Structure formats: C-alpha cells, structure tokens
C-alpha cells in the first residue's frame, strides 16, 4: 500500500512541477521580450521567483536534492535581479533559460526513474556567474527624498529597490493614507490597490497605529507619472490624504497630513498585503480553483467503459430487431424506446468524457517558444514566433504524441529554412525571421501549420542529392510535390556538413512516421527565396469514433467516418484508366480510386465490367481518394484498440475494433492509405 501511495504521490509531483515549468517558460519568454526596452514588470519577476520557490519546496519534500539545489540557485539569481543587484541583460536571461531547460530535463527523467539525475556543474557555474554580476551603482537617490524615515525603516529590501527604481524614472512618489470600516477593510483595501495599479506601481502597503473605534487606516506607497490630483480623482474617496515626493512636481503635502509620524510595532509585518492575505484566508478554507488534475489513464479507463457500453447498446438493438422479426412488436417497441433513451444518454456521457480529454494546442505551442529561442540563439539567428489558434482543442494523447514531430519541424525551419541576419539583409528581407505556428479546426480534424519566411527549398538541389544517393534515376522526371516527398525518406538530407541540429539524415522520416501513426497527414510546400510551410492534419481524437463498416473480398473493415465525405454506388463501366491509374469522373473532377482488395492482397471474386461497385470517398485536407469496396454495411460507434508493437509494421491499418456481435475487425488508416496511393499515382502504380 505504501509503495502505491508513494507512486501516486510521485506522479502528482511530476504533474505539478511540469505545470509550474510551463508557466515559468511563458513568463521567461515575456521577460526576454522586454530586453530591448530595458524595463520589465516587477510582478513578472515576482511570479517567476515564486515558481522557482515552489519547485524548490516540492523537490525538498520528495528528497530530490538535485532539483531542489538547482531551483534554489535559480531563486537566488531572481532575487538578486528583482533587488537590482544584477543587471537585466542577455547574460542573466540566458542563465535563467538554461536553468529552466535543465529543470525540465530533470523532471522528465524522474518521471521514468526517480533516481535519474544530471551533472549540474556547468549549469551551476552559469547561474553563479550571473548571480554575482553587479548592477551599476551611484549616489543614493533616497538622500534627497523627504520621505519620513519611519516609513523608510520598515520597507523590505525589495520594496526599497522598487522605490529607487521609481525615483530613477523620475516618477512622483505618493503616500496615500486612507481609512476603512473595520468589518470590510480587507475587500476595500484590495479594491483600492487595484485602482492605484491603473496609474502606476504599488510599492508597499503599511498599517497605521493608533486607530480608534470601528475604523482602521492604511498607508500606500505608490509610484506614478501622474500627479496627486489624478490619483485623488481616480480614487474618489472622502477622508483621503495624499503626500507627494520627488518626480517633476517636488514635495507637496496636504495640511491634514503634515507632521504625521508612523511607528513600527514589533508585531506588525513589514508588508501589509501579506498580512491582508492571511486575514482573508482565516475566514474560509475553501479553494478558489474549481479544477481537478486527473491522470489520463483514468480517462482512458472511463473511455473504455463507455466503449463497452456502446457495444452493449448495439447488442440490445440487435435483440430488439430479432423480437420485431419474431412478431412480438409490443415488447420490441418498448425495448426500442428504452434503447433510444440509452443511446442519447451514452452520447452525452461519451461527449462529456471526450470534453475532459480535450486540451488547447496552446499547451503544445507554449513548449515550442523555448525551443525557438534556444535554437535561434545557438544558430545566431533572430526569430519572431507568430502563434495563432492556440485555443484550438485536441485529444490530450494526440497533443503529447505530436510534440516531438512538431519540435523537429521547428528546429528544421530555423536551421535549414531561416537565413542569418546578414543573409536576410543582403536579400532585402527584415533582419528578423518569422516562424508562424497556426492551428485551426476543420470539420473533425485539426490542421497545424508551421510556416517560415526563409530561403525555401531548392527542388533541383534535392533532385541532385536523390540522384547521387541512387534514390531516383538520372533522367527520371518528377513533379515538385514528388521531389518534396523525397525529403521524408529515411536518411535523406540536403546538408553537406553535420551539425548538432541537422545533416545526420534523421528527423523528417520520423516526423512523417509519428504523424501517420496518429492517423494524420503531413504535407510540404515551398517557394525558393520566399519560405516553406508544413501542414499537419490530425483527427481530433483517436478514442471512440463513428465508423463506416465495409466488406471487401469477404473481409470486414471500419473506415473512420470523420474522413468519409460521401459514398457512391457505381457501375464498373464508369471506372476509367488514365496512365495505368483507375479514376472516376465525379462532378467534373477526377477522383483517383484505390481497390482495397488489391491493396491488402485479398482474393476477390471475378466481376463483370457492368457489375455494381461501392465507393467510399475519403478526404484529408484538400486531398480526395475513392476506396472501392464490395458492400457498405452501415455506421457504428467503435473503440479503436492498438495492434501493439508486434504488428506496427502493418501498413494501412490504424488499429482494431470490436463490433456488437463480438467480432473483431480492422480499422483502416485513411491518412496512410491516401499517402501511399497519391504518391504512387504519378509513378503509375495501381
């Protein structure tokens, strides 16, 4: 029991720390974008600081000393940065990104083996070098500020640093005193703080001593470019005292505030907002968040149970049909009515479980921001990442499985596609390259496009490489799309030299295989000198799907209905042959045909040319293909089961499914079959 509990706790730790790392990644990217201006939101630094502190605490609880030490050193660097003791420059940002990358690798390793660790010496040295850097010093700006020493004495080191930063920017420093009703001060003070943040930065909140009766007073130290009149107009409260120091206007005191002295009682914390939070928390233990973290394996179990219920419903419907055939129409009618109610409830349950499994692709795109930044720095290239459609949803398992292929594509786009700043200037392009990462839902599929504005792909160079490797003949003519398909062959690379990222011939074939295993399709388009785009088309889910059941040469197969555009019944005489390829004229367009009996080497009965055929027209993206089958048996909900690694070599099959009559059938991989058929089309393969 203790081992199980320990294992569950470890999974919870991995899940929670991964969420923190993803949030830290986004915040660090935002922080890095502020380098050009040299200014950043202090709340942003504080958020990153808290994230590192949380990881340190969690790692310490589990005895992961390596994680705890790394997070602690990262926390020290962030503390020095927010106190202004180290400069806000590229070196500091690089050290933070390096630490975060190492944190991510450690957490990932411990998810497989809790004893996993890394040599952190180099990472520690980079953090130490950044931590002990010195920000430029100078005279103390507080010396000329006529702020009451009693206030300065109770400021924390961080608050004093923020006060100095506001003074350096020649902002007005306002000391706002306001009193509240004792019964509602916490809510009113929080509202006032949010109002002040609209005009500037709240540096510190301090309680006043000596309040009498049912009132309590606070002083808020606040920096802003606006004057006291603007602050008074914004707050619009009675009994408001504002004293202003520094800035462009010089000290100005309201008469009621003159000679005011603040004492520091030993029990009052220096930061009023922390005291306020403690007071608010004491009233209720209810969580603010209404979300629950759920293991995906539990959702898989629920989905399997729903799938079994769907099959049971199909069996009950079959019994209902047999009762009706046997003449018991009254009982068959009642059972049919109950079956329809069960079907509606099952549909709602299935949809509910599916909604829980769906996550926005933004979770995937966020991970790519760190990859773009790190690889572009290594390559000495300047890159902007344009993200659109981040709220498009996909099944959580598909999101995880497509992350590695997407990472390969983006690394290739930076390494192969984008030019150096010097090359881009010479070509009349902006110095900064752009990588677009766009997602959109199209029907029952999600399309992810990765586009760059780089040098593009030279088809002739790819062709020469293919000839040199013996992949094609010297005089063989290929279309541009066929040339691009060569890039997905194992071991193919256009690089003459080997780098850490490219030139080893590993990557694009893995991309294609991984996406094909997800019943997806990847397409490439490029224009020399203008850029390259890769489009990934994926099903929204691979769990319970509605399928078209077909019969081919005595065998039964399932075609996912989300890929079926229409079904046709035709005469064999309507099939034509163009360049050794069977096609069908359909609404003034030519539809390539694929006979599934020949694809799977099945023995089909001899047919007359005029005998009828059934065609299932399938489509992905803008590609269409007709599957020629013997019969259409109707639609049914099925649960796809993996064939396992032993049968992973079988082409054209996405998995297996069980029908209501306990019969197991194969589910066709539409994307894989279309890819093979359309590639063989120009080559004249049947």
Q: What is the pLDDT of residues 391-419, one digit of tens each?
A: 998 888 888 888 888 988 998 899 888 99
3-state secondary structure of 638: strand
Tell me whether residue 416 is one of the annotated catalytic residues. no
Place 648 in a pLDDT band, splitting at 50, 70 and 90. Answer: low
pLDDT at position 300: 77
Q: Is residue 564 in some structural domain?
A: yes
Q: Structure tokens of 333? A: 């009618």
Q: Is residue 515 in some structural domain?
A: yes
CATH number at residue 273: 3.30.70.260
Rounded Cα distance between 127 and 99, Å, is 8
Place 449 in a pLDDT band, splitting at 50, 70 and 90. Answer: very high
Place 645 in a pLDDT band, splitting at 50, 70 and 90. Answer: low
pLDDT at position 199: 84
Same domain, 127 and 220: no
Rounded Cα distance between 669 and 658, Å, is 16
Same domain, 490 and 552: no
pLDDT at position 283: 42
Residue 363 pLDDT > 50? yes
Same domain, 181 and 40: no
Rounded to whole angstroms, what are the CA distances from 599 to 582, 587, 628, 632, 685? 13, 26, 11, 18, 11
Place 670 in a pLDDT band, splitting at 50, 70 and 90. Answer: confident
Q: Is residue 607 in some structural domain?
A: yes
Q: Is residue 672 in some structural domain?
A: yes
Residues 6+ apart with CB under 8 A from 330: none
pLDDT digits (tens, 9 = 90+) for 601-635: 887 666 655 578 899 999 876 778 999 998 898 88
Domain end residue (candidates: 73, 97, 131): 131
> Choosing from 25, 412, 514, 562, which is the catalytic residue?
412
pLDDT digits (tens, 9 = 90+) for 40-92: 778 888 888 888 888 888 888 888 888 988 988 888 888 888 877 888 888 88
Tell me whether residue 174 is one of the annotated catalytic residues. no
- List, in sequence order, every residue forming a beta bridge with 636; answer none if it has no partner: 547
**Tokens 């297996």 correspond to what residue?**
656
pLDDT digits (tens, 9 = 90+) for 234-277: 887 777 888 887 665 444 334 333 333 333 333 333 434 343 33
Place 437 in a pLDDT band, splitting at 50, 70 and 90. Answer: very high
pLDDT at position 210: 57
pTM beyond 0.85, yes or no: no
pLDDT at position 366: 82
Residue 684 pLDDT > 50? no
Q: What is the mean pLDDT of the chain?
A: 78
Total tally of structural domains belonging to the chain: 5
User: Could you tell me the residue range of the domain that residue 29 belongs to?
Assistant: 2-131
> Choosing from 25, 75, 523, 562, which is the catalytic residue?
75
**Tokens 């931590």 correspond to what residue?**
131
CATH number at residue 54: 1.20.120.160
How far does Cα 224 stand from its chain's mean position?
37
pLDDT at position 12: 78
Q: Report the first-to-last Cα separation within the chain, whole angstroms.
A: 59
Same domain, 406 and 459: yes
Tell me whether residue 76 is one of the annotated catalytic residues. no
Rounded Cα distance between 307 and 544, Å, is 7
pLDDT at position 289: 44
Place 662 in a pLDDT band, splitting at 50, 70 and 90. Answer: low
pLDDT at position 262: 34
Query: H or E stretch including 479?
Result: none
Among residues of the chain, what percentage have pLDDT more than 70? 82
pLDDT at position 646: 65
> Choosing from 16, 19, 22, 53, which is the catalytic residue?
53
Residues 6+ apart with CB under 8 A from 264: 150, 153, 154
- List, in sequence order, every residue forming a beta bridge with 242; answer none if it has no partner: 176
Place 498 in a pLDDT band, splitting at 50, 70 and 90. Answer: very low
């Amino acid at each position: 029991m203790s081992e199980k509990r320990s294992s569950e706790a470890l999974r919870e730790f991995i899940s929670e720390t991964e969420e923190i790392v993803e949030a830290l990644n986004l915040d660090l990217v935002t922080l890095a974008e502020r380098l050009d201006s040299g200014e950043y939101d202090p709340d942003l630094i504080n958020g990153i600081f808290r994230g590192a502190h949380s990881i340190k605490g969690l790692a310490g609880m589990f005895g992961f000393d390596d994680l705890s030490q790394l997070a602690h050193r990262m926390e020290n660097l962030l503390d020095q940065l927010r106190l202004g003791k180290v400069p806000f420059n590229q070196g500091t940002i690089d050290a933070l990104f390096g630490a975060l990358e190492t944190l991510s690798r450690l957490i990932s390793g411990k998810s497989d083996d809790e004893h996993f660790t890394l040599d952190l010496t180099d990472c520690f040295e980079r953090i130490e070098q950044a931590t002990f850097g010195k920000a430029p010093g100078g005279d103390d700006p507080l010396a000329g500020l006529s702020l009451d020493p009693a206030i300065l004495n109770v400021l924390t080191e961080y608050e004093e640093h923020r006060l100095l930063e506001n003074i350096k920017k020649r902002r007005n420093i306002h000391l706002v005193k306001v009193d509240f009703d004792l019964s509602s001060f916490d809510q009113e003070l929080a509202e006032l703080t949010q109002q002040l943040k609209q005009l500037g930065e709240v540096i510190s909140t301090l309680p006043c001593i000596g309040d009498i009766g049912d009132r309590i007073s606070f002083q808020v130290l606040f920096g802003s470019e606006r004057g006291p009149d603007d602050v008074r107009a914004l707050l619009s409260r009675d009994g408001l005292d504002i004293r202003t120091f520094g800035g462009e206007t010089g000290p100005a005191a309201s008469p009621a505030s003159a000679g005011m002295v603040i004492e520091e009682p030993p029990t009052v914390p220096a930061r009023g907002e922390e005291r306020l939070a403690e007071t608010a928390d004491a009233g209720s233990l209810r969580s603010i968040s209404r979300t629950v973290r759920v293991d995906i394996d539990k959702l898989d179990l629920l989905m399997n149970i729903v799938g079994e219920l769907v099959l049971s419903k199909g069996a009950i419907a079959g019994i209902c049909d047999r009762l009706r055939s046997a003449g018991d129409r009254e009982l068959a009618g009642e059972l049919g009515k109950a079956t329809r109610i069960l079907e509606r409830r099952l549909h709602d349950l299935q949809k509910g479980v599916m909604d829980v499994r769906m996550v926005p692709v933004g979770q995937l795109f966020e991970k790519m921001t760190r990859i773009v930044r790190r690889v572009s720095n290594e390559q000495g290239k300047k890159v902007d990442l344009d993200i659109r459609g981040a709220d498009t949803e996909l099944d959580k398992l598909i999101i995880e499985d497509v992350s590695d292929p997407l990472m390969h594509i983006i690394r290739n786009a930076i390494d192969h596609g984008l030019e150096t700043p010097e090359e881009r200037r010479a070509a009349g392009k902006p110095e900064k390259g752009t990588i677009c990462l766009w997602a959109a839902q199209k029907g029952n599929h999600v399309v992810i496009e990765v586009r760059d504005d780089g040098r593009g792909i030279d088809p002739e160079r790819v062709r020469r490489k293919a000839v040199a490797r013996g992949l094609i003949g010297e005089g063989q003519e290929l279309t541009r799309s066929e040339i691009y398909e060569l890039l997905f062959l194992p071991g193919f690379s256009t690089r003459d030299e080997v780098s850490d990222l490219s030139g080893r011939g590993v990557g694009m074939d893995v991309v294609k295989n991984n996406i094909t295993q997800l019943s997806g399709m990847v397409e490439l388009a490029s224009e020399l000198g203008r850029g390259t785009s890769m489009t990934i088309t994926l099903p929204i889910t691979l769990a319970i799907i509605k399928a078209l059941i077909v019969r081919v040469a005595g065998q039964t197969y399932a075609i996912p209905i989300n890929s079926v555009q229409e079904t046709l019944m035709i005469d064999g005489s309507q099939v034509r042959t163009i360049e050794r390829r069977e096609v069908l004229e359909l609404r003034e367009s030519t539809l390539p045909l694929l006979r599934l009996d020949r694809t799977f080497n099945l023995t089909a009965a001899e047919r007359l040319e005029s005998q009828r055929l059934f065609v299932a027209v399938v489509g992905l993206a803008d590609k269409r293909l007709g599957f020629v089958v013997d019969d259409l048996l109707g639609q049914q909900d099925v649960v796809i089961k993996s064939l396992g690694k032993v049968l992973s070599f079988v082409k054209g099959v996405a998995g297996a499914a069980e029908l209501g009559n306990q019969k197991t059938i194969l589910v066709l991989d539409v994307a894989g079959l279309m890819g093979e058929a359309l590639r063989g089309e120009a080559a004249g393969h049947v």
